[in-house]
């Protein structure tokens, strides 16, 4: 039996990525990183800003996401996200731009705790990408 499952990443504009030879996916779930292997129990969770790692036969891929929902069912992993970038395509200027945006958001005065936390997360993750 192969140890592979399907993953699909969808953003509002299009179906972003579809792979069916994935052996493991690590997602930045809200309560900490979560690795998903084949035959994981059905789960719904949502994401905080972070890196999605996709490990597959055809090569590993890393994506930066700002938010999203994960649903795993019958060895199908769906990730819905509004902001996603492939780390391989992300250059310095893009990263700096995102970082600046996140920092601005984190430094707003009238921000509630949750958005503050999310913005801080973004800053942290983006900084580690350097």
Which residue of 78, 95, 101, 121 would you call a contact of another protein, by CB under 8 A? Answer: 78
Shortest Cβ distance from residue 70 to another protein (Å)?
A: 9
Q: Indicate whether 59 belongs to the interface with another protein (CB under 8 A).
A: no
Q: Which is nearer to another protein, 82 or 86 (CB)?
A: 82
Shortest Cβ distance from residue 89 to another protein (Å)?
A: 19
Q: Indicate whether 37 belongs to the interface with another protein (CB under 8 A).
A: no
Q: Indicate whether 101 belongs to the interface with another protein (CB under 8 A).
A: no
Residue 74 contacts by C-beta under 8 Å, 6 or more apart in sequence? 42
Shortest Cβ distance from residue 2 to another protein (Å)?
A: 23
Q: Indicate whether 10 belongs to the interface with another protein (CB under 8 A).
A: yes
- Closest of 2, 45, 1 to residue 26, by C-alpha: 45
Q: Indicate whether 88 belongs to the interface with another protein (CB under 8 A).
A: no
CA–CA distance, 59 with 71 (Å, rounded to integer): 23
CA–CA distance, 7 with 32 (Å, rounded to integer): 20
Residue 79 contacts by C-beta under 8 Å, 6 or more apart in sequence? 7, 8, 9, 10, 27, 47, 52, 65, 68, 69, 70, 71
Q: Which residues of this chain interact with another protein, rule CB under 8 A?
A: 10-15, 29-31, 34, 41-46, 67, 69, 71, 73, 78, 80, 82
């Amino acid at each position: 039996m192969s140890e592979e499952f399907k993953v699909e990443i969808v953003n509002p504009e299009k179906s972003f990525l579809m792979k069916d030879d994935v052996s493991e996916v690590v997602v930045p779930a809200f309560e900490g990183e979560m690795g998903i292997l084949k035959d994981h129990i059905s789960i719904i969770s949502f994401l905080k800003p972070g890196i999605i790692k996709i490990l597959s036969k055809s090569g590993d891929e890393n994506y930066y996401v700002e938010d999203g929902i994960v649903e795993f069912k019958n060895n199908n992993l769906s990730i819905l996200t509004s902001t996603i970038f492939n780390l391989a395509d992300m250059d310095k200027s893009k990263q700096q731009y995102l970082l600046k945006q996140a920092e601005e958001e984190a430094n707003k005065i009238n921000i509630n705790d949750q958005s503050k936390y999310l913005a801080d997360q973004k800053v942290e993750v983006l900084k580690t990408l350097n």
